[in-house]
Structure 1
């Protein structure tokens, strides 16, 4: 059975683990018995190894050293796929990660407003960083089960989980804070703002409609092109806005909180059209 899995892996361009990547199994048994992984073996030996590695990857901070053997985990997944445990392994993974994300969401809910943006940025960055290790470790399951039988992709599925269990629950609290931060220079670092806005766009592009001008600062070609005949109108609107800002104590180039609040349109169909002159 392992040979057939090796052949399939070669056909798909996925390298099979070498002899040095095998996990420790009783070598005194016959080759046939050595290659058999029962569902009980999977539950008692193989999944616990994967479960522990996933926990460490999901909770690591950037630059942390993770004391796990990537080669061992890679081989563990490979063996389980070859022994027809892909469906169970995928089910276990898809149940495990939402539990982690629910904890992340609750921690964000408890965050004070002045720390909310930064903590969301950390949670998003930590999860996306974990996917850079988790997805390659499960490459065999992705190739031989998710893509083949489910017609999906593991990375897309895992990103969708963050969208459903974290981002969707916080978007209506996060967006007003982002707009307020945009109107207050240096309240949030440009890199943090860029990371969050680009991340939200990756999770769900239609969220652009909530604040098109904000997204346009970090995502190219979000707003429609300016029509030449409308330039004079946009210039007049800009001059009026600057006068209002100066009257309210803002220096030239700042954006008022009033305007930032007005931009929060929550899927208004006219959002892009009404804001396209304020790039």
Structure 2
């Protein structure tokens, strides 16, 4: 997936800020926030959340120390509320973009590697963003809002990526168990570990597969409830798939249209048989 969002603007702003960005106290105004500081911060966030962008510009080309210091000065000068609002907006915007892209992929053998890349990267990005935005997190998100950035990053990921693709994830994980030779098992294990790291309750997506992949991890205490949830969802999605193919409860086979000549003849034959009986 090739995603480019304000790349040229981000690079231009990075050059303006230079290597001394955040090293000394600076006066931040509404104008400099919008023209210089926020474009640099938002560019980094988008890169952290999109693995494809990191091919062209790896995250290590950003100075995390300078980013941390700039965020410190923004918060210190009263921009914490706006920074938080802008940060959550760009996180959700980027995740929606990624979610929409994988939704448009039809083939499972192409969809899964794309989903895997997003999941593995998000687990890593959650740690990186938590470190860079630690001052904002502790002094505003936790202290004032009584939340924390890590939980928000995970919550947005669950809502926008996992829940939206839930049926497909359950289906593909089921295929892995049925025919593992179709998949790169190392990639599958990395995805499982990333999803579990983000939220242990993700084990509900396929308890058997998760247990075989994270045997060195402590399993959640509500494992049995998660098994029941998986079975319920699996049954629900199987029924939805059958209904989409024309099946309805009470029919042993898929419903057929009565518009063919064969069906018309069958109906006429049944009516004739009834007349003979009378």
CA distance in 1, matches of 2:232, 2:23: 55
Alignment partner, residue 128 of structure 1: 123
Structure 1 stretches of 4+ moved >6 Å: none
Paired with 1:55 and 1:204, the residues of 2 have a C-alpha distance of 22
Within-5 A mapping of 1:1-279: 23=22, 35-60=26-51, 65-66=58-59, 67-111=61-105, 112-220=107-215, 222=219, 265-267=231-233
The RMSD of aligned alpha carbons is: 3.1
Q: Helix, strand or coil for the counterpart of 1:186?
A: helix
Choose 1 or 2 for highest CA Rg. 2
1:185-223 C-alpha deviation (Å, 9 max, x unpaired): 322222222222333334454443453322322244659
TM normalised by structure 1 equals: 0.63
Q: Which has the higher contact order (CA 8 A, sep 6+)?
A: 1
1-structure distance, mates of 2:86, 2:48: 16
Per the alignment, in what secondary structure is the counterpart of residue 232 of structure 2?
coil
2: CA distance between counterparts of 1:188 and 1:162?
24
Mapped contact 2:48–2:129 kept (Cα < 8 A)? yes
Alpha-carbon distance in 2 for matches of 1:87, 1:164 = 23
**Unaligned ranges ≥5, structure 2:** 1-18, 222-228, 235-278
For 1:24 and 1:212, locate their aligned partners in 2 and report how far apart those are by CA, in whole Å.
48
Change in 2 beyond 3 A, CA 1:223/1:182: farther
Question: When the two structures are superposed, what TM-score results if normalisation uses the length of structure 2?
Answer: 0.63
The answer to whether the 8 A contact 2:49-2:121 is kept is yes
Aligned residues of 2:193 and 2:214 also touching (Cα < 8 A): yes
Contact 2:200 2:220 in 1 (8 A): no
Q: 1:211 & 1:58 partners in 2: Cα distance?
A: 25
Please give the alpha-carbon distance, in whole angstroms, between the structure 1 residues aligned to 2:201 and 2:26. 48
Flag structure 1 segments of 5+ consecutive residues without an equivalent: 1-19, 26-33, 225-262, 269-279
Give the length in aligned residue pairs.
204
What's the CA shift for 1:165?
Answer: 0.9
